[in-house]
Amino acid sequence: MRIRPKRLNLGDTIGIIAPASPPKLENLERALLFLEELGLKYKMGKHVEKRNGHLAGTDKERLEDLHTMFEDDEVKGIICAGGGYGSARFAQQIDFQLMMENPKVFWGYSDITYLHTAFGNFSNLVTFHGPMLSSDIGRDSFDDLSRKMFQQLFEPMELHYSEEISPLTILGEGNATGELVGGNLSLLASGIGTKYEIDTKGKLLLLEDVGEGPYRLDGMLNHLKLAGKLSDAVGFVIGDFSNAEAKNPKFSLTADEVIDHYIGETNKPAVKGFKIGHCQPHFAIPLGVGAQLNATEKTLTILPGVE
């Protein structure tokens, strides 16, 4: 059993960090109003507004903000400002014992997938794959359902996904039950061969991505296949793959054809079309908790992520 963080309460303080690329500060400012609407206070990481080329400060600075928020007893949860690139650069310096001894809500997605996987492997911590402050919440397109998904942090609740939320497509029928893991495909593929690679043995694997063309998706899914990650999983939750069109469609498979090939040939329960990922609405979920995929009925049930 992984460690579930304690639920949030009204008046709690949220720590804000930027572990990867620099956030858009005007979007971040707007997103702070949403935290206030939730009844939360916030504490900004010391280095959130720093810029180091394509990174939000140096590796040392970004890591310092992560450690500081886990050390701070006043901070009850941590929400990432945005993704982009860079979380993996400081993975070897993370104090995983600190996270294990101070479990708290940790929320983000995209490049943050690397941290979700690392925390799961070495801190045994349930984390949350959900929309972030600058890249999602501070935008005009932020959806009402995406807003509602934050309520799972205040009260332990089962999450239920069906075609009432979005059209779903069966890639493999049957039932699969297991711990829900995964996230951004490109980050999962980049972890293969390192000690931060994802463990899919007996687990439900979530996959999503953005801006990756069919041949790129083909390479990454083949990488997971050759590493045994697809055969190890008991089932597949296929999230949103946006902006995945080929530059020259006449001479390319489609993203759907690539995904259908690799996931379909496993002959395991699999459903695609979940609005999980770089999309609106963004159905936020806990990672590291038990879940059941009924591929035949096209439903997904996920156990609570907080205590």
Question: Which tens digit of pLDDT belongs to each residue from 145-203?
Answer: 999 999 999 999 999 999 999 999 999 999 999 999 999 999 999 999 999 999 999 99
**How many whole angstroms separate alpha carbon 7 and alpha carbon 79?**
14
Write out residues in the chain with pLDDT < 50, as ranges.
none
Burial of 37 per CB tally in 10 Å (0-12, 13-18, 19+): exposed
Amino acid identity at 41 = K
Report how far apart the first and last C-alpha atoms of the chain are (Å, whole number).
Answer: 13
Question: For the chain, what is the total number of helices (H) and then of strands (E)?
Answer: 9, 14
Active site residues: 110, 208, 278
CB count in 10 Å sphere of residue 164: 7
Predicted pLDDT of residue 290: 98
Helix 255-264 and helix 214-226: axis angle, to 10°? 10
Domain annotation for the chain: domains and CATH numbers: 13-153 (3.40.50.10740), 159-302 (3.50.30.60)
> 197: which residues sit within 8 A by CB, 6+ positions away?
117, 188, 191, 227
Predicted pLDDT of residue 287: 98
Predicted pLDDT of residue 279: 97
Global pTM value: 0.98
